[in-house]
């Protein structure tokens, strides 16, 4: 199993400060999710806010898998069949779209990461169910973490919840540990495999901080990467949803570090 670092209460408190900035950035983005707005406008608003807060936009400049195409924006904005890593552009949001907004920032050396999928105006009932189930999978994880001993137990129940609703869990894209770096060990899948349990499972223990991010497709789980080297889409062209919070296990219980100042947020009961 890959090694990872547990955080102290003092370190988690610093991460909470970064989490609150991520939360507020999401509130700014939410105000812009409406027909007629471009995804570039949403990115620009978040980028300005991070700069005002003296926070570093973590996604901007990250190299692609090929190493030669850095991500050009502060926010990943993925529309409809786009699962993750959508590049903001002059694309105009339309009534009935769904838009996944994934952002992360670093403040005073500590990182936060959170994502949410929002409807653009009115959406059809099936697409709303997709959003509800994906958010529900994250809510389930938050509820189960203090009641289980290992992550694989949580992942198994998340996967079963999604499949029972008739949707597909995205595989190959996973959550992650987080701290001084955006992507740290351990890997945090939203599905269960015997191979993962044998090689990468981890205990749910005090000091663990992870970004839990279920990604769910309306149709099949097969993915495709576009020629921009970044945007990953559902290969069958059906809608996808993505919800994420940065979550800490403390002596006092679970703390959602990317919740609002009063503990509010998506997937929080």
Residues in the chain, pLDDT under 70: 1, 195-199
Q: Where would I find the beta strands (DSSP E) of the chain?
A: 56-57, 75-79, 82-84, 98-107, 110-119, 168-169, 175-177, 184-188, 209-212, 215-217, 223-225, 232-234, 240-242, 245-250, 253-256
CA 99 vs CA 13, 63, 85, 94, 114: distances in Å: 30, 23, 12, 10, 14
Specify the pLDDT at position 216: 98
| CA torsion through residues 107, 117, 98, 100, sign | positive
Helix axes 9-32, 39-52, angle to 10 degrees: 140
Tell whether 268 is covered by a domain.
Answer: no
Specify the pLDDT at position 1: 58
Specify the pLDDT at position 229: 94
Tell whether 160 is covered by a domain.
Answer: yes
Tell whether 264 is covered by a domain.
Answer: no
Specify the pLDDT at position 193: 79
How do residues 156-211 score in pLDDT, each as one tens digit? 999 999 999 999 999 989 999 999 999 999 999 999 977 666 667 999 999 999 99
Specify the pLDDT at position 84: 98
Tell whether 269 is covered by a domain.
Answer: no
Distance CA 150, CA 154 (A): 7
**Structural domain boundaries, residue 167:** 9-256
Specify the pLDDT at position 163: 98
Specify the pLDDT at position 151: 96
Tell whether 263 is covered by a domain.
Answer: no
Structure tokens at 33: 């999710």
User: How much is the pTM?
Assistant: 0.96
Tell whether 241 is covered by a domain.
Answer: yes
Tell whether 140 is covered by a domain.
Answer: yes
Find the CATH number of the domain harbouring 202.
3.90.230.10
Q: With contact defined as beta carbons under 8 Å apart, do 29 and 117 qualify?
A: no
Distance CA 18, CA 12 (A): 10
Specify the pLDDT at position 7: 98
Distance CA 258, CA 152 (A): 23
Specify the pLDDT at position 197: 64
Distance CA 34, CA 83 (A): 19
Specify the pLDDT at position 199: 60
Specify the pLDDT at position 195: 67
Specify the pLDDT at position 176: 97
Distance CA 98, CA 238 (A): 11
Domains of the chain: total? 1
Specify the pLDDT at position 67: 74
Q: Of 230, 182, 233, nearest to 71 (Cα)?
A: 230
Tell whether 4 is covered by a domain.
Answer: no
């Amino acid at each position: 199993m890959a090694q990872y670092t547990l955080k102290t209460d003092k370190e988690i408190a610093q991460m909470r400060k970064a989490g609150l900035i991520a939360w507020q950035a999401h509130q700014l983005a939410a105000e812009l999710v409406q027909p007629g707005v471009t995804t570039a406008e949403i990115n620009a608003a978040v980028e300005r806010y991070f700069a005002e807060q003296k926070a570093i936009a973590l996604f901007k400049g990250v190299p692609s898998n090929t190493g030669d195409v850095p991500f050009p924006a502060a926010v990943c904005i993925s529309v409809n069949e786009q699962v993750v890593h959508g590049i903001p552009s002059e694309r105009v949001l339309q009534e009935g779209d769904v838009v996944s907004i994934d952002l992360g920032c670093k403040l005073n050396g500590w990182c936060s990461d959170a994502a949410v999928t929002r409807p653009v105006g009115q959406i059809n009932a099936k697409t709303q169910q997709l959003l509800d189930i994906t958010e529900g999978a994250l809510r389930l994880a938050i509820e189960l973490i203090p009641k289980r001993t290992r992550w694989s137990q949580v992942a198994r129940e998340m996967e079963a919840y999604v499949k029972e609703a008739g949707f597909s869990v995205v595989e190959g894209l996973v959550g992650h540990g987080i701290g001084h770096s955006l992507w740290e060990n351990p890997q945090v899948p939203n599905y269960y495999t015997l191979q993962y349990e044998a090689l990468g499972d981890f205990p749910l223990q005090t000091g663990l901080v992870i970004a839990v991010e279920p990604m769910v497709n309306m149709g099949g789980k097969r993915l495709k990467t576009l020629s921009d080297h970044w945007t990953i889409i559902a290969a069958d062209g059906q809608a996808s949803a993505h919800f994420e919070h940065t979550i800490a296990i403390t002596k006092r219980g679970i703390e959602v570090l990317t919740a609002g100042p009063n503990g509010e947020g998506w997937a929080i009961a």
